[in-house]
A and B are shown apart, each in its own frame.
Chain A
Amino acid sequence: MRVGVLALQGDFAEHLATLARLNVEATEVRKVGDLAQVDALIIPGGESTTIGKLMARYGLDEAIRARAAQGMPIYGTCAGMILLAKHIEGSEQPRLGLMDITVRRNAFGRQIESFEADLLFRPTPERAVRGVFIRAPIVSQVGDEVDTLSELEGKIVAVQQGKLLATAFHPELTDDTRVHQYFLSLISGTL
């Protein structure tokens, strides 16, 4: 099993470090050719507008959609969640549009509103996950096929639709690897 981390911009290095801690083979994805080498993809935090534009510029948007249609698992954090969403409130920015969700960008305010909070992440209920939120989005609406995995003060911050997983927070910035392990469990089911 080899996991790709989209490395156009953002905190891809932290995801690679988390995967290394879990002894998973991981590689950076910057071009269409890199995508053929991986069984799953993580889309990191960063600037969703920037990452979306670069994906389109390099043809990675079409390539990722094609792999997703074949069942490749994808996990998006923060900007990655925005890029996975079908609908982005008030924005026409480029996106993958693979998950039947509506997201609200910067839902907790601009950079000044970055914070941390303990969350119940339903697949790992034994103890709380520390959620790091940085200019984070929320999910304002979900379609019928989408499961809500975590909420913060009534706002949806983690969702799953089949093999697609998205969190508004950044588990890769903490020492807790359980969210990544949950994502890996989705991959092993497909191999």
Chain B
Amino acid sequence: MLRGGVIMDVVNAEQARIAEEAGAVAVMALERVPADIRREGGVARMSDPRMIEEIMHAVTIPVMAKCRIGHFAEAMILEALGVDFIDESEVLTPADEEHHVNKHAFKTPFVCGARDLGEALRRIGEGAAMIRTKGEAGTGNIVEAVRHMRAIMKDIRRIHSAPEDELMAIAKQLQAPYDLVVEVHQTGRLPVPNFSAGGIATPADAALMMWLGAEAVFVGSGIFKASDPERRARAIVDAVTHYRDPEVLAEISKGLGEAMPSLDVRKLAEEELMAVRGW
């Protein structure tokens, strides 16, 4: 029930309350936002369970937390804490370069990142309940989220209009489970909600992702690394609700102060990219 909403990264209870007050539909509890993980380097792991619990106590909206790709023991800990969703996230340092978590083994719903439809369907095949574009977290640069969302929507349209006898070849090409390809063919949409993340820094960025087909957006560093987090948080929430209304967008975009510090994705070295983690 997160659709049409904004999920915000928060690092403490106070930020969680600011996010809830601004109208966030959920918060992502983590120790460092992606921009800081990028700057500080080192291994990024699941957050301290005490800090996650403090955030769960601070707000009534759902709380998500991240585990490393393939780190099912971290996922078990998060489930035991009672978090509402687990994000198996490329923002943390991967624990397994071959296998993602078998999400069917959990009751807690998972959200996973994807760069294209094949990757999205592989994660759904493993039990993901939601998909988000990976984008390139911590950059404040929307270009990768746009690339990933366009890639996913383009392949959905292609499969939806393809004749039935081509679906197996498409499944082979995408390296995706055949049954899920058939489902996309029949429904013309992803089998689970399709969200966007990775680089959203302004209300206009959020509106752009909604136009491109996102059903909700994640904002990581974009809020609490900006100069006026309260106003920006509120403006991004408004932008997701009113994304089709340019007059509203113009009004809420005025005088928001400085956006988060940003990075040119093309100048990042291969090993600095987060989106290429996982497959």
The closest CB in chain B to the CB of A14 belongs to B3
Residue of B nearest to A88 (CB): B60
B23 at the interface (CB under 8 A from A): yes
The answer to whether the Cβ of B195 comes within 8 Å of any Cβ in the partner chain is no
The residues in A between 57 and 112 inclusive whose CB is less than 8 angstroms from any CB of B are 57, 78-79, 91, 93, 105, 110-112
Using A54-B241, A111-B108, A112-B108 as known contacts, say yes or no to A46 and B84 having CB atoms under 8 A apart: no
Given A79-B1, A105-B60: A50 in contact with B108 (beta carbons within 8 A): no
Interface positions, chain A 87-146, Cβ under 8 Å from B, are 91, 93, 105, 110-112, 134-135
A46 contact from B3, B85, B238, B242, Cβ within 8 A:
B3
**Given A105-B60, A111-B84, A112-B82, A11 and B23 contact (CB-CB distance below 8 Å):** no
Find A10's partner among B4, B26, B61, B82 (CB 8 Å cutoff): B4
Q: From known contacts A111-B108, A112-B107, infer whether A135 and B5 are also in contact, taking CB-CB under 8 Å.
A: no
> What residues on B are CB-neighbors of A45 within 8 Å?
1
Give the secondary structure class of A's interface.
loop
Query: Number of A interface residues, CB 8 Å?
Result: 26
From B1, B108, B241, give the contact of A30 (CB < 8 A). Answer: B241
Q: B2 interface residue, CB < 8 Å from A?
A: yes
In the complex, residue of chain A having the shortest beta-carbon distance to the beta carbon of B234? A57
Tell whether, in the assembled complex, residue A110 and residue B1 are in contact, meaning their CB atoms are under 8 Å apart: no
Categorize the interface residue count of chain B. 20 to 34
- List, in ascending order, chain A residues with CB within 8 A of B108's CB: 111-112
Q: Are A7 and B4 in contact (CB under 8 A)?
A: yes
- B60 contacts A93, CB within 8 Å? yes
A53 interfacial by beta-carbon distance below 8 Å:
yes
CB-CB < 8 A to A93: which residues of B? 60
Given A9-B241, A111-B85: A53 touches B79 (CB 8 Å cut-off): no
Please tell me which one of the listed residues B2, B79, B107 contacts residue A47 in the complex, with CB atoms under 8 A apart: B2
A residues apposed to B, CB below 8 Å: 7-13, 30, 45-47, 49-50, 53-54, 57, 78-79, 91, 93, 105, 110-112, 134-135
Beyond contacts A11-B3, A49-B61: 13 other A-B pairs, Cβ-Cβ < 8 A, are A9-B3, A46-B4, A47-B61, A49-B20, A50-B5, A50-B23, A50-B25, A57-B23, A93-B60, A111-B84, A112-B84, A112-B107, A135-B1
